[in-house]
Chains A and B, each alone.
Chain A
């Protein structure tokens, strides 16, 4: 991993190198394909029970943000930021095991979807009460600031979540204390079935940054390079003691709220319009045009992705479900902690 802590006052717009660009395309495609497998195959086969939430169409936000994190940084992704988990080092096998409630998933069957975390890998998961991770990010950032290594916390949430008090409390606290937090709003136009005009009365949420005394910037959330650049500026600012920023990424949820939701309340033309702005072909075309990647290499990446997903699904399906007797384990952290003893496979 790269070294944290750039020189004080540096605030240039970050530009990704060719290797990073290839990784971005890889993670965009991996995220898309993995989520398609989850909501269009495994869920329909009854292999995933419970709610299924994906981030189709908005993958560029997680990729363009998390790809620039360094060792010691912490990300608190939303439920639609699958890519952040991959970039921070969760394996597809782990993630599919969790989706399928297996004993060897990161939560050992205790929690579902992307509610998976690991401080060592710098990921703190959401709870279903969206917005609760914003204050948690402040506490993380208090510690990062005190350690003085130039590390930052990124916290993602949807535009619906911005109506919650926890987001307000956290943005105010972060600004008052000049904490190294980047508040990233994945504005995907719908909170379950609620459109933005029923959620808030401003044109752009980005204006709220000023109300807290922090920069508020909006960005095309379907342009991974733009996300990289704008979030990168906010990260650079936070690393050098400039405090928090608010970034509103405009995007669109190309699915229903969850796999059971057909999204009939969304006008069809919105899907058509936003399909044209799909972040994956956009980056792919740009990389081909600039000859950063060739069609052959892209094909290789796609094959690799398919194989990885096949492997992870097979692994998860072959993995055991939890022993029901473990239901009562691990409520408290104790000296004989159940979590420190891996379950038998």
Chain B
């Protein structure tokens, strides 16, 4: 199997879908000749031409709005946000136009809005956000956040094939740091299905995106102390795999909810409510959240390091919870 980075896996996934289905096309800023700010779409203009790899002016609202119009006409647009931070400029088109059309009048809106999110590269407050929850709170959208190269490819393919608007959060810290063997034969990873990344018995860590790797490292550290972590990678945040989450919690009896996003209104809070409501009798300790603090993402390295949940923070939280 070929070794692919997380970024190459996304590129390959999009590429394969464009080869397979002529209704798939790309639009965004600097995605054509330049190949995108992170080069996700490098080579696509040469292969697919200007009609299918469309460089737009700087206009996130028009990019998303045009994707909606094209989707209504039977196409499958994939819109790039140069950074997911800039999705705020297209927010209205996503949450009010795209998300509500099917519920309001039954038309399918098969589109993907994708781009790099997340911190760890000293991008500062406007190139580092984990803003997935803006969309998880919007019925009608699907929200995806892969952690591995295999999943990144399989999930982008599933997102492009889905008949609903999908917001696809790539993690820029993982783009070139994750390299895995990815099958060259056809596969998709279904939306809405979590996966157990590591089996364990003492504490379930429910997480997604880059924090999956943090959780796995913490699990290695804790294993030496005899504490067994189970790591659940949600992969899709909306709709998320409630069954998998509850099964893991019931199995381990203790749970840490981990994400890079800030705490208030984060995915952890939602999961905590569901766990408390549906698996209360299976809990042997408090539901613990490990998240970023409720601040913007700071720029300077020591501040950013303090902001990000780390292996140490997860280990510390797990030790406390294990002794509860």
Q: Which residues of A contact B (CB under 8 A)?
A: 74, 106-107, 110-111, 115-119, 124-125, 127, 129, 132-144, 146, 153, 165-166, 169-170, 172-173, 176-177, 330-334, 337, 339-340
- How far, in Å, is B26 (CB) from chain A's closest CB? 12
User: With A118-B105, A166-B65 in contact, is A143–B59 under 8 Å at CB?
Assistant: no
CA distance A74 to B104 in the complex (A): 19
Of chain B, the residue at the smallest CB distance from A112 is B104
A140 contacts B73, C-beta separation under 8 Å: yes
A135-B59, A166-B92 provided; 8 other pairs, C-beta below 8 A?
Answer: A119-B107, A136-B68, A138-B65, A172-B57, A173-B62, A330-B103, A331-B140, A332-B140
Of chain B, the residue at the smallest CB distance from A140 is B69
Count chain B residues whose beta carbon lies closer than 8 angstroms to a beta carbon of A: 41
Q: Which residues of B contact A (CB under 8 A)?
A: 51, 54, 56-57, 59, 61-75, 77, 92-93, 96-97, 100-110, 139-140, 142, 163-164
A140 contacts B72, C-beta separation under 8 Å: yes
A143 contacts B75, C-beta separation under 8 Å: yes
- How far, in Å, is B68 (CB) from chain A's closest CB? 5
Contacts of B105 in A (CB 8 A): 106-107, 110-111, 115-118, 125
The 20 listed contacts between A and B (C-beta, < 8 Å) are: A74-B73, A111-B104, A132-B65, A136-B65, A136-B68, A137-B69, A139-B68, A139-B72, A142-B69, A143-B73, A166-B61, A166-B65, A169-B59, A169-B65, A170-B62, A173-B66, A330-B102, A331-B103, A332-B140, A333-B109
Contacts of B97 in A (CB 8 A): 127, 129, 132, 136
A333 contacts B102, C-beta separation under 8 Å: yes
A110 contacts B140, C-beta separation under 8 Å: no
CA distance A169 to B29 in the complex (A): 13
Q: Which of B56, B63, B65, B69 has the most CB of A within 10 A?
A: B69
B103 contacts A135, C-beta separation under 8 Å: no
Of chain B, the residue at the smallest CB distance from A166 is B61
CA distance A84 to B34 in the complex (A): 42
CA distance A21 to B37 in the complex (A): 54
Of B54, B68, B72, B92, the contact of A119 (CB 8 Å cutoff): B72
Of B66, B72, B139, B140, the contact of A138 (CB 8 Å cutoff): B66
CA distance A117 to B96 in the complex (A): 15
- How far, in Å, is B24 (CB) from chain A's closest CB? 13
CA distance A141 to B105 in the complex (A): 21
B102 contacts A339, C-beta separation under 8 Å: yes
Contacts of A339 in B (CB 8 A): 102, 106
Of chain B, the residue at the smallest CB distance from A138 is B66
Contacts of B56 in A (CB 8 A): 173
Of chain B, the residue at the smallest CB distance from A111 is B104
- How far, in Å, is B207 (CB) from chain A's closest CB? 25
Contacts of B61 in A (CB 8 A): 135, 165-166, 169
Contacts of A135 in B (CB 8 A): 59, 61-66, 68-69, 93
Of chain B, the residue at the smallest CB distance from A179 is B66
CA distance A143 to B76 in the complex (A): 11
CA distance A141 to B70 in the complex (A): 8
Contacts of B108 in A (CB 8 A): 333
B69 contacts A138, C-beta separation under 8 Å: yes
CA distance A146 to B74 in the complex (A): 13
Contacts of A116 in B (CB 8 A): 105
A143 contacts B69, C-beta separation under 8 Å: yes
A136 contacts B106, C-beta separation under 8 Å: no
Contacts of B71 in A (CB 8 A): 139
